[in-house]
Amino acid sequence: MIGVIARAGERPAVQEFFQLFKTPWEYFREGEAYDVLVITGKVTPETQAKLVVCLSETPANHQTKVEIGSASLPIYRAPSEKVRIEEQQRGEQKFVYLGYNLWSEIDYLLRVGQPIDHAQTPALEMHIQVIRNLILDCNMDVVEIPPVPAGYAFSATLTHDIDFIGIRQHKFDHTLAGFLFRSTVGATRDWLRGSLPFSKLMRIWKALASLPFVHLGLARDFWLPFEWYLKVERGIPATYFFIPFKHTPGEKVNAQNAHRRGCAYDIGDIPEWIATLQRNGCEVGVHGIDAWHSVEKGQAERARVLAVTQSTSSGIRMHWLLRNDETTRVLEQAGYEYDSTVGYNETIGYRAGTTQVYLPIGNENLLELPMHIQDGALFYPQRLGLSEGQAWELCQSVIEQFEKFGGVLTLLWHDRSHGPERFWGEFYSRLIERLRQMNVWLTSGEQAVRWFRQRRNVFFEKSGSTISVRGCGQAISPPLTVRVYRGGRSNVCEDFSWDGRDTQEVGELIAQTDTSTAPVGAEA
Extract the runs of DSSP E, i.e. beta strands, from 306-458.
Answer: 315-318, 338-339, 367-368, 373-374, 408-412, 441-443
Residue 518: inside a domain, yes or no?
Answer: no
Distance (Å, whole) CA 69 – CA 522: 11
Residue 42: inside a domain, yes or no?
Answer: yes
Q: Is the predicted pLDDT of residue 160 greater than 80, yes or no? A: yes
Q: Are residues 125 and 99 in the same domain?
A: yes
Distance (Å, whole) CA 296 – CA 331: 10
Q: Are residues 190 and 117 in the same domain?
A: no
Q: Are residues 104 and 212 in the same domain?
A: no
Q: Are 79 and 100 in contact (CB under 8 A)?
A: yes
Which parts of 82-221 fold into alpha helices (H)?
102-111, 123-137, 174-181, 187-193, 198-215
Q: Is the predicted pLDDT of residue 226 greater than 70, yes or no? A: yes
What phi, psi does 96 have (nearest 5°)? -120, 125
Over the range 16-39, which residues count as b (16 or more CB within 10 Å of their CB) and which as e?
bbbbbbbbbbbebeeeeebbbbbb
Query: Which is more confidently placed, 43 or 128?
Result: 128
Q: Are residues 340 and 438 in the same domain?
A: yes
CA distances from 61 to 76, 81, 100, 138, 433 (A): 6, 9, 11, 32, 43
- Mean pLDDT on 503-516: 66
CA distances from 241 to 283, 309, 510 (A): 8, 12, 42
How confident is the model at residue 82, as a pLDDT? Answer: 86
Q: Is the predicted pLDDT of residue 516 greater than 50, yes or no? A: no
Q: Are residues 369 and 268 in the same domain?
A: yes
- Which element (helix H / strand E) includes 445? helix 445-456
What is the average pLDDT value for the chain, to the nearest integer? Answer: 92
User: CA angle at residue 111 from 110 to 112, to 5 degrees?
Assistant: 105
Q: Are residues 196 and 230 in the same domain?
A: no
Q: What is the DSSP letter of 479?
A: P
Q: Out of 268-282, 303-317, 429-443, which region has the weakest mean confidence (pLDDT)?
A: 303-317
CATH code for position 340: 3.20.20.370
Instruction: Please give the radius of gyration of the chain, using alpha carbons only, rounded to the nearest integer.
Output: 25
Q: Are residues 176 and 268 in the same domain?
A: no
For β-strands 283-288 and 315-318, DSSP reports them as: parallel
pLDDT category, 491, cuts 50, 70, 90?
A: low
Helix axes 271-279, 226-233, angle to 10 degrees: 10
Q: How far apart are the first and last CA of the chain?
A: 23
Residue 503: inside a domain, yes or no?
Answer: no
Tell me which of 140, 175, 196 is where a domain ends.
Answer: 140
Distance (Å, whole) CA 296 – CA 202: 48
pLDDT category, 120, cuts 50, 70, 90?
A: very high
Q: Tell me, letter by letter, the H, E, C secondary structure of 74-108.
A: EEEEECCCCCCCEEEEECCEEEEECCCCHHHHHHH
Residue 494: inside a domain, yes or no?
Answer: no
What contacts 398, CB < 8 A, 6 or more positions away? 120, 348, 349, 372, 373, 409
CA distances from 397 to 71, 72, 207, 357, 490 (A): 14, 16, 34, 20, 21
Distance (Å, whole) CA 381 – CA 112: 27
Q: Are residues 30 and 83 in the same domain?
A: yes
pLDDT in tens, 449-490: 999 999 999 999 888 778 888 988 899 999 999 999 887 665
Domain tally, the chain? 3
SS3 of residue 177 by DSSP = helix
SS3 of residue 68 by DSSP = strand
Q: Are residues 307 and 414 in the same domain?
A: yes
Residue 247: inside a domain, yes or no?
Answer: yes
- The total of other beta-carbon atoms located within 10 Å of residue 179's CB is 21
pLDDT > 70 fraction of the chain, expressed in percent and rounded:
96
pLDDT category, 171, cuts 50, 70, 90?
A: confident
How confident is the model at residue 489, as a pLDDT? Answer: 61
- This prediction's pTM: 0.94
User: Nearest to residue 423, comparing CAs of 375, 382, 458?
Assistant: 375
Q: Out of 56-70, 180-194, 295-309, 318-332, which region has the weakest mean confidence (pLDDT)?
A: 56-70
Q: Are residues 206 and 304 in the same domain?
A: no
Residue 484: inside a domain, yes or no?
Answer: no
How confident is the model at residue 486, as a pLDDT? Answer: 83
Instruction: State the residue range of the domain holding 188.
Output: 167-222
pLDDT in tens, 355-408: 999 999 999 999 999 999 999 999 998 999 999 999 999 999 999 999 999 999
Residue 495: inside a domain, yes or no?
Answer: no
Q: Are residues 159 and 306 in the same domain?
A: yes
Torsion 381-385-387-391 (CA) sign? negative
Residue 479: inside a domain, yes or no?
Answer: no
Q: Is the predicted pLDDT of residue 47 greater than 90, yes or no? A: no
Q: Are 78 and 63 in contact (CB under 8 A)?
A: yes
pLDDT in tens, 242-282: 999 999 999 999 988 999 999 999 999 999 999 999 999 99
Q: Are residues 292 and 358 in the same domain?
A: yes
